[in-house]
Amino acid sequence: MMKKAFFVSCGSLSLGLGIIGIILPLLPTTPFLLLSAACYAKSSERLYHWLLENKYFGSYIKNYRAGKGIPLKVKITAVSVLWLSLSFTIVFVVPLVAVKILLALIGAFFTGFILKQKTLQKHAV
């Protein structure tokens, strides 16, 4: 029961950030919606199906799951936000060199993951 509540909470938080990402170009929408779908799939079939069938959010998830990819704008935004936040943390927050290196390696991994994803063509939405 606690696991279900955790995943519903994380999915809802991620969905909220995804919705904000639709309005604010600073936040990438698709990754947050994908995280919401994953959390809901592990916790609530009703919320998962609601998200997939939602006329505003469903297409983001369906396009990714169908192998159509992630929009180029989302890729650029995600990588930019990732490195802006990591750079700030590495330069101003973390004092240990080993942690700075670890953060840079994590950032490089996720950058590679995002860039390797297929880019969604305009007509596929």
Q: Could you report the per-residue pLDDT of 31-66, keeping only the tens digit for each? A: 888 889 999 999 999 999 999 999 888 887 888 888
31 close to 81: Cβ distance less than 8 angstroms: no
Residue (of 67, 64, 70, 43) closest to 52 by Cα position: 64
pLDDT above 90 for 10: yes
With 80 as the cut, is the pLDDT of residue 30 above it? no
Looking at residue 25, its pLDDT comes to: 60
**CA 119 – CA 72 distance, rounded (Å):** 6
What is the rounded distance in angstroms from the CA atom of residue 99 to the CA atom of residue 77?
25
- pLDDT confidence tier of residue 26, bands split at 50, 70 and 90: low
Compute how many other C-beta atoms are within 10 angstroms of the C-beta atom of residue 92.
8
The whole-number pLDDT of residue 67 equals 85
Contact assessment for residue 88 and residue 80, using Cβ atoms and an 8 Å cutoff: no
pLDDT of residue 124: 45
Q: What is the pTM of this model?
A: 0.60
Determine the Cα–Cα distance for residues 98 and 100; give it in Å rounded to an integer.
Answer: 5
Phi first, then psi: give them for residue 26, nearest 5 degrees. Answer: -70, -30
More confident residue, 14 or 22: 14
Q: Mean of the pLDDT values across residues 81-92?
A: 89
Q: What is the pLDDT of residue 77?
A: 81
How far does the chain reach from its first CA to its final CA, in angstroms? 36
